[in-house]
A and B are shown apart, each in its own frame.
Chain A
Amino acid sequence: MSGKFVATNVRNIPPSGIRKFFDLVLEMEGVISLGVGEPDFVTPWHIREACIYSLEKGFTSYTSNSGLLELREWISKSYKKDYAVDYNPRNQILVTTGVSEAADLAFRAVINPGDEVIIPEPCYVSYKPSVSLAGGKPVPVSTYREDEFRVTSEQIQKSITKKTKALVLSYPNNPTGAIMRRKDLEEIADVVNENDLMVISDEVYGKLTYDGAHTCFSSISGMKERSIILNGFSKSHAMTGLRIGFAAGSEELIAAMTKIHQYAMLCAPITAQMGAIEALKNGAVEMEKMVKEYDRRRRLIVDGFNKLGLDCFEPLGAFYAFPSIKSTGLTSEEFAGRLLKEEKVAVVPGDVFGECGAGHLRCSYATSREQIIEALSRIEAFLGSIQ
């Protein structure tokens, strides 16, 4: 009966497709999961120790709304070094409770009622609902295997109306593992300029690329003033549960986001902020080790799917493979559901990440090589049984 109190725009958000699967898996034993969106590494010990030490020293208070200045300075330094982009640590960086918060803040800070936001799909599940909750209208754009799951400037151009305010980019991409080259981004930047748009670019997988370094969107000429870059420590330093991310952008946009953040969150947890400082100071070696290991697993799983006859696009970023199962004649949901019940392998149906993900599966290779090999042989058995 209390359902009537729930606001309409919240009621209108469809239930999460992932949630349903999660409940199914919980009831089963002996499941190999390729359904996990986080690293299987534990946070490197030196980072955990920095967190512990900060607790011992009594760092348990609020920090400034924007986050510890030392952390913002390290973020600023790393962006200068990695991408040659200059962000002033005093007013162009905001430390948030994970990238999820940063994304929500960015949408709320820029969207007026009815504004349209272009969202290339398949993509992470939170953008659409966050845009809706902020009063905006999400405009999904499908990307395809033929384009290596990149959104093209022509596609964006076609989706622009008078009401278009912003474009979301999320590369390296969850769930496809697609990346963008500098040239692709430059073409998009032209469209953004010509149509006076702004860009919210979620680059949380930016450190996980396997064919050359990631290009930060704001490193494209003229884009720093038109973009909010979202990033965090969850994927690069295996810190998912510590919930620590950040946004970088122009002074005006960051100030607007900080306004919301100060009332909604006040500040990111200080323990995680201390860990993040350590990650940026001394985390490069461990991170490179993890990236190397992901790369090996990536090759194993992609090769495995292709050999099984499930056409798999070569992902060059993040830690997901996105094989097509169209050849089996099953829908993603049927395939994933039966694979779980019959062979106890959990994967996520591709259409959870947008309609155009239908006919695909998201398979995370953030799991041990042995598990990947075992999962592939179970999938092989499953494919044999449905023929």
Chain B
Amino acid sequence: MKEILEIIESNPKIPPKDIATMTGLTEAQVASKIREMEKNGIIRKYKTVIDWEKAGEEYVYAIIELKVVLRSRTGYDAIAERIAKFPEVVSVRLISGGHDLSLTVRGKSMKEVAFFVAEKIATLEQVQGTVTHFVLRTYKQDGDILFEKERSERLAVSP
């Protein structure tokens, strides 16, 4: 099972027949294992990684650190889940250190992101303080290097 996941992690489009060859399973077994993992949520979804900038769309990203005052009993989950519902928020993480939550927010412009934080996040009752870091350039994301990849200049034929 882990073997199948490792094979499709970087490319979900690889045909079951090739996965079958690589793992020694039958094509039917591979297909049923994948279906099973899709059903029980081990495979959460298949996603397309898009270079929006290349597609002519410009997005602004910011990392927002929040200090949160906890209400009794509800804990961090309640506030984190509430924030996560905003579509502008791309990720929400509970972190250790000087702050409690770290968000990534996406918007069309710095102004849009700034307004969103000021109006929707900072105003939440439990949010005590925010620090906004605008992203200037992303070099690596989800394990993918975004700058020019290394090209190995191998000889075309060698002993």
Chain A residues at the B interface, C-beta cutoff of 8 Å: 16, 18, 21-22, 25-26, 31, 33, 35-38, 40, 42, 124-126, 174, 292, 295-297, 299-300, 303-304, 346, 348, 369, 373
Q: Are B156 and A299 in contact (CB under 8 A)?
A: no
Of residues 107 through 159 on chain B, the ones whose CB sits less than 8 Å from some CB of chain A are 150, 152, 154-159
Q: How far is the CA of A39 from the CA of B17 in the complex (A)?
A: 25
Cβ of B97 < 8 Å from any Cβ of A? no
Distance in Å from the Cβ of B115 to the closest Cβ of chain A?
41
Known contacts A296-B22, A299-B22, A369-B18, A18 near B6 by CB under 8 Å: no
Distance in Å from the Cβ of B59 to the closest Cβ of chain A?
29
Q: Are A126 and B152 in contact (CB under 8 A)?
A: no
Q: Are B158 and A36 in contact (CB under 8 A)?
A: yes
Q: A299 to chain B: which residues have CB within 8 Å? A: 21-24
Cβ of B49 < 8 Å from any Cβ of A? no
Q: How far is the CA of A124 from the CA of B159 in the complex (A)?
A: 7
Closest A-B pairs by Cβ, 8 of them? A35-B157, A296-B22, A25-B156, A22-B157, A303-B21, A37-B158, A33-B156, A125-B159
Q: Are A36 and B22 in contact (CB under 8 A)?
A: no
Q: How many residues of B contact A (CB 8 A)?
A: 16
Q: Are A38 and B158 in contact (CB under 8 A)?
A: yes
User: Which residue of the partner chain A has the closest CB to B157?
Assistant: A35
Q: How far is the CA of A21 from the CA of B156 in the complex (A)?
A: 9
Q: B14 to chain A: which residues have CB within 8 Å? A: 369
Cβ of B7 < 8 Å from any Cβ of A? yes
Of residues 2 through 26 on chain B, the ones whose CB sits less than 8 Å from some CB of chain A are 6-7, 14, 18, 21-24
User: Which residue of the partner chain A has the closest CB to B7?
Assistant: A296
User: Which residue of the partner chain B has the closest CB to A372?
Assistant: B18
Q: A35 to chain B: which residues have CB within 8 Å? A: 156-158
Select which of A22, A42, A174, A346 is within 8 A of B150 by beta carbon: A42
User: Which residue of the partner chain B has the closest CB to A301?
Assistant: B21
User: Which residue of the partner chain A has the closest CB to B17?
Assistant: A303
Q: B23 to chain A: which residues have CB within 8 Å? A: 296, 299
Q: B156 to chain A: which residues have CB within 8 Å? A: 22, 25-26, 31, 33, 35-36, 346
Q: What per-residue 1/0 map shows which CB atoms of B37-81 lie under 8 Å from chain A?
A: 000000000000000000000000000000000000000000000
Q: B155 to chain A: which residues have CB within 8 Å? A: 22, 36
Q: A33 to chain B: which residues have CB within 8 Å? A: 154, 156-157
Q: Are A292 and B6 in contact (CB under 8 A)?
A: yes
- Known contacts A37-B158, A296-B23; can you find 8 more A-B pairs with CB under 8 A? A22-B156, A33-B154, A33-B156, A35-B158, A36-B155, A174-B159, A299-B23, A373-B18
Most chain A Cβ neighbours within 10 Å, of B24, B152, B155, B156: B156
Q: Are A348 and B157 in contact (CB under 8 A)?
A: yes
Q: How far is the CA of A125 from the CA of B157 in the complex (A)?
A: 13
Distance in Å from the Cβ of B20 to the closest Cβ of chain A?
9
Q: A16 to chain B: which residues have CB within 8 Å? A: 159
User: Which residue of the partner chain B has the closest CB to A289?
Assistant: B6
Question: 26 A-B contacts, Cβ less than 8 Å apart?
Answer: A22-B156, A22-B158, A25-B157, A26-B156, A31-B156, A33-B154, A35-B157, A36-B155, A36-B156, A36-B157, A36-B158, A37-B159, A38-B154, A38-B158, A40-B152, A124-B159, A292-B6, A295-B22, A296-B22, A297-B22, A299-B22, A299-B23, A299-B24, A300-B21, A304-B21, A369-B14
Most chain A Cβ neighbours within 10 Å, of B7, B21, B150, B154: B154
Q: Are A346 and B157 in contact (CB under 8 A)?
A: yes
Q: Are B22 and A300 in contact (CB under 8 A)?
A: yes
Select which of A37, A42, A300 is within 8 A of B152 by beta carbon: A42
Distance in Å from the Cβ of B78 to the closest Cβ of chain A?
39
Q: How far is the CA of A300 from the CA of B156 in the complex (A)?
A: 21
Select which of A21, A126, A373 is within 8 A of B157 by beta carbon: A21
Q: How far is the CA of A38 from the CA of B158 in the complex (A)?
A: 8
Select which of B18, B150, B158 is within 8 A of A300 by beta carbon: B18
Distance in Å from the Cβ of B21 to the closest Cβ of chain A?
4
Known contacts A299-B21, A299-B22, A18 near B159 by CB under 8 Å: yes
Q: Are A126 and B159 in contact (CB under 8 A)?
A: yes
Q: B22 to chain A: which residues have CB within 8 Å? A: 295-297, 299-300
Q: B24 to chain A: which residues have CB within 8 Å? A: 299
Q: A42 to chain B: which residues have CB within 8 Å? A: 150, 152
Q: A36 to chain B: which residues have CB within 8 Å? A: 154-158
User: Which residue of the partner chain B has the closest CB to A175?
Assistant: B159
Distance in Å from the Cβ of A42 to the closest Cβ of chain B?
5
Q: How far is the CA of A369 from the CA of B18 in the complex (A)?
A: 10
Distance in Å from the Cβ of B158 to the closest Cβ of chain A?
5
Distance in Å from the Cβ of A366 to the closest Cβ of chain B?
9
